[in-house]
Amino acid sequence: MNVVEPIADAVTGGLAARAVEPRTGLDESGHTTERACLNCGTPLAGDYCHACGQHAHVHRSLGAFGHDLLHGVFHFEGKIWRTLPMLAWRPGELTRRYIDGQRASFVSPIALFLFGVFLMFAVVSQLPSNSLIDTSQLQAGLENGVKESEAKLRDLATQRTRAVAAGDQAAIARIDRTIASQNEDIALARDIAKDGTAGALTHASDDAPTSVAALNDAYLKAKKNPELLFFKLKSNGYKYSWALIPLSLPLMWLLFPFSRRWRLYDHTVFVTYSLCFMTLLVVTGSLYRLTGLPGVGLLTLIPPVHMYRQLRGAYSLSSLSALWRAAVLSVGSFSIVILFGIGLVLLGLFD
């Protein structure tokens, strides 16, 4: 459907309504002239309602609508460009200033987190899978493995010929089993080289991996349609990304156990801003990977440094205190990501 048509209909309808009912409490400039708040009905005593905070004089003109749209975009953009540099270079100061009450100057952590997650999945989903991971070494390893297996097959064929000539049935059976195993390895390596993990899953055995019926059913469904499983993983990752925040809070509490100075709210703001940076780092790394320039692996060194700077600034820690906490937080964060990934796999299997 043409996107312009509904917009044009809305504008036309608004102009028609204005022509039919031109007077609805507006002055000539398009401002309302009510003496009570249009939102909550409280009598007005200034430019803003002291009860709900809404502006006393709202606009009801098309020009004012465009003004509000531009103001909203550039106001958010202004806060973004004030927040992002501090998030990158002075994350501890950003966290501390937000916790201490400077809310209007910066984008809130949850709003920035949602923006970062949306941007990350939007960018990553549009990139080819081989642009995110350097698969050249994997491909080379698979090719070498196939060549080695083929060489073993030639040796096994020679051994089998000798065993047949000698009439050694036990040796023939043993060699046949080894040949079958080598052929399976070659087929698996070629599937992985061609289709990645989906190829490996499709090539997997149909035998039940466990004695639990529910797990077996989930395994067979994933094997039958691995693309659907990966789609669910991506969808659930976007949908449940917020779960990383509560999963990280126990770790933050352990870094400051029984502290009366630092409370869960402080930890929540810290974790959310930290996750914002990590999502934007993934976006940056993904786009940098497309350039083909070397050194993308060095980006993995940034998170521990960022955690150290944020810990030291947000919690007023000494260098040594921030250093050991950053080390623990780095290891713990990796464990949390693994736990989150396991949860996504289980959701994808049983959804």
pLDDT per residue, tens digit, the chain (351 aa), is 454 444 444 444 444 444 444 444 444 444 456 788 888 888 888 888 888 888 777 766 677 677 666 666 556 667 888 899 999 999 999 999 999 988 888 888 998 998 888 888 888 777 765 544 555 555 666 677 777 878 888 888 888 888 888 888 888 888 888 888 888 777 777 766 665 555 555 555 555 555 556 665 666 666 666 667 777 777 888 888 899 999 999 999 999 998 888 989 999 999 999 999 999 999 998 888 887 777 778 888 999 999 999 999 999 999 999 999 999 999 999 999 999 988 888 887 776
What phi, psi does 301 have (nearest 5°)? -85, -15
In this structure, are residues 113 and 272 in contact, taking their beta carbons and an 8 Å threshold?
A: yes
Which single residue is written with the structure tokens 């770790």? 251
Residue 18 belongs to a domain: no
In this structure, are residues 274 and 306 in contact, taking their beta carbons and an 8 Å threshold?
A: yes
Residue 76 belongs to a domain: no
Cα radius of gyration rounded to whole Å, the chain: 30
Residue 38 belongs to a domain: yes
Residue 226 belongs to a domain: no
What phi, psi does 316 have (nearest 5°)? 55, 50
What phi, psi does 241 have (nearest 5°)? -60, -30
Question: What is the pLDDT, as a whole number, of residue 28?
Answer: 45
How far is residue 21 CA from its own chain's centroid? 49
Residue 256 belongs to a domain: no
Q: Model pTM?
A: 0.66
Structural domain that includes position 176: 134-204
Question: What is the pLDDT, as a whole number, of residue 209?
Answer: 55
* Domain count within the chain: 2
Residue 32 belongs to a domain: yes
Residue 199 belongs to a domain: yes
Separation between Cα atoms, residue 198 and residue 204, nearest integer Å: 10
Residue 89 belongs to a domain: no
